[in-house]
Structure 1
Amino acid sequence: MSILRTGINFSFSLFSGFLPMLVILNETKQKHKIHDYTQLIRGRDYIFETLQGGLRGYMTGTGKGIKPRDYIILQHGSQNYRYQVEEIDYYADPSDMWIALVKQVRFE
C-alpha cells in the first residue's frame, strides 16, 4: 500500500512543476476574449457592413467589455466566421452599443 501511495505522490510532484507554466499559458491565451454572436440575427441584433469582400467590415452591436484584439464569432448562413476587433468605439447612449472595425481571421 505504501508503494502505491509513493508512486502517486511521485507522479503528482513530477507533473506539479509544470502546472504554473500551464496556468501562465492559459492566462496569456485568455487576454483576448471570444464573444459569440452566432445566435444573433444579422440586420436585427447587429449590423455588419462588409469591406474587402467580407474579409473586413464595420460591425455595430451591443455588449459590454469588447476590446481591441478580442474575437467575435458570427454566423452567415450555416457557416461560422471569426473576426478580430481592430478598433472599437462605444456610444454614449446606450453605453453598451458600439461600432468596431473587424478583420476575418482563421479559427485556431
Structure 2
Amino acid sequence: MDSHRGFGVVRLGSPKEEVRELLGGGMESEPEFGPVSQDHFLSVGAAVGYDSEDRVTRVVMARPAQVVYRGMELIGHPYAEVMAAARRQGVTVVAREAELGFPEGGFSVWTALR
C-alpha cells in the first residue's frame, strides 16, 4: 500500500460495484466488527470491507504481499523494526498490540510480532 491508498487497482473509497467489476465475483459476508459488509476475493487473496455507503474502508491481504509506504516495507518485518524505520523517517505511527496505525496515510497494518 502506498500513497495511493490501495492495492493494485483497488483504492480506499472506491465503490463496491467498481471493485467487483475489477476483481470478479466475491463472497459477501457481514463481519463481526469493523466494516458493514465485506467481499472475499479468493483469486487475489484479499478481503475488501465496505461502509454503509458501499465504499471501500478496509483491505486485508491473505497472501504474501508487498506493502510499502513512503519507501518502508511494512509486511513481513518485525513490529519493532517497522516502528524504528517509521521514526527514522519522521512518520507518525500509532502502536497498538499487533497493529501499527499510520494516521497520515489513513490505514493500519498488522505486522510480524517483535
TM-score, scaled relative to structure 1: 0.29
Structure number with greater Rg is 1
Structure having the larger proportion of residues in helix: 1
Work out which structure has the larger RCO, using CA pairs closer than 8 Å and 6 or more positions apart in sequence. 1
Structure having the larger proportion of residues in strand: 1
